[in-house]
Amino acid sequence: MAFRDVTPGVTGTGDPVPSDAELVRAHVAGDAEAFGELVRRHRDRLWAVALRTTGDREEAADAVQDALLSAHRAAASFRGDSAVTTWLHRIVVNACLDRIRRRQAHPTVPLPDGSRSDDDRHAGPEPIAPTPDQDTVLLVRDALAALPVEQRAAIVLVDVQGYGVAEAAAMLGIAEGTVKSRCARGRARMALALRELRGTPSDSGHDGNRTGGRDVSSRSGDAVTSLPTGRERREQR
């Protein structure tokens, strides 16, 4: 199920519901509430894309904030060539990629805050060991985070959020064939990384996209193993 711009209609009280494009035009015309309504409609999906792409809650929050500020200021330049949601996603993904590249160019090492002694750090109950399912999710997240940023962005949009290849291509500003190739290379890298993280030896007698007894698909429409897909969540709605 693909998301499109909200089309005009009426609410249960009979009030008209403006489309996304109408909200953009109203914002440009000076409506102080239009952009806020647009954000409320799409913030959950934008946040999910940012979190999966950056792999860090603080970075994701900053990226979404940067992107929405940029969209707020640049709304007058929106020409309507694509859906508003596609336009917003493109801005968010670009903000995420910019942050990831800056982080890679200037890595930082967290410093101790000095507020706790060594005894304090070791006090308290031991953390609960993760369940097998949680452990698998953590392994998949680590493998996703280790991908080159361009491949990660394509995997997040297609396999995690459930967008079609054409929509992902529009959001990323690249050709559909490029999305497919990035997804394929990303899935292959994740399969190899998952083998290494699980300590499973490579089996040359099986397909290169198998890992730990589970398949990681090479088809652009299928979900990466263990990643919760946006499409499943949308269909439930």
Could you give all domains of the chain from N- to C-terminal order, each with its CATH number? 19-107 (1.10.1740.10), 131-225 (1.10.10.10)
Residue that is written with structure tokens 């410093």 in the block: 111
Return the structure tokens found at 39: 């954000």
Which position has the higher pLDDT, 202 or 81?
81
Long-range contacts of 18-24 (CB under 8 A, 24+ apart): 20/83, 20/84, 20/85, 21/80, 21/84, 23/84, 24/75, 24/78, 24/84
Return the structure tokens found at 40: 């409320």
CB atoms within 10 A of CB 118: 7
Determine the average pLDDT of the residues in 170-182.
96
Give the rounded percent of residues in the chain with a pLDDT score beyond 70.
65
φ, ψ (nearest 5 deg) of residue 56:
-145, 125
The burial of 207, by beta-carbon neighbours within 10 Å (0-12 exposed, 13-18 middle, 19 or more buried), is given as: exposed
Residue 152's nearest CA partner among 69, 39, 31, 59 is 59
At residue 231, the pLDDT reads 53
At residue 81, the pLDDT reads 87
pLDDT category at 115 given cuts 50, 70, 90 is: very low
Q: What angle do CA 54, 235, 226 make, to 5 degrees?
A: 45
DSSP-assigned states of every residue in 14-64: S-EE--HHHHHHHHHTT-TTHHHHHHHHHHHHHHHHHHHHHS-HHHHHHHH
Which position has the higher pLDDT, 208 or 197?
197
3-state secondary structure of 6: coil
Q: In angstroms, rounded to a whole number, what is the distance separating the alpha carbons of residues 200 and 157?
A: 28
Contact 6, 19 (CB under 8 A): yes
Measured CA distances, 132 to 70, 122, 127, 143 (Å): 41, 25, 15, 17
Determine the average pLDDT of the residues in 11-20.
73
Which position has the higher pLDDT, 19 or 231?
19
The whole model's pTM is what? 0.67
Lowest mean pLDDT among 103-107, 115-119, 174-178: 115-119
Residue that is written with structure tokens 């940029």 in the block: 70
Residue 178 makes CB contacts below 8 A (sequence gap 6+) with: 169
3-state secondary structure of 71: helix
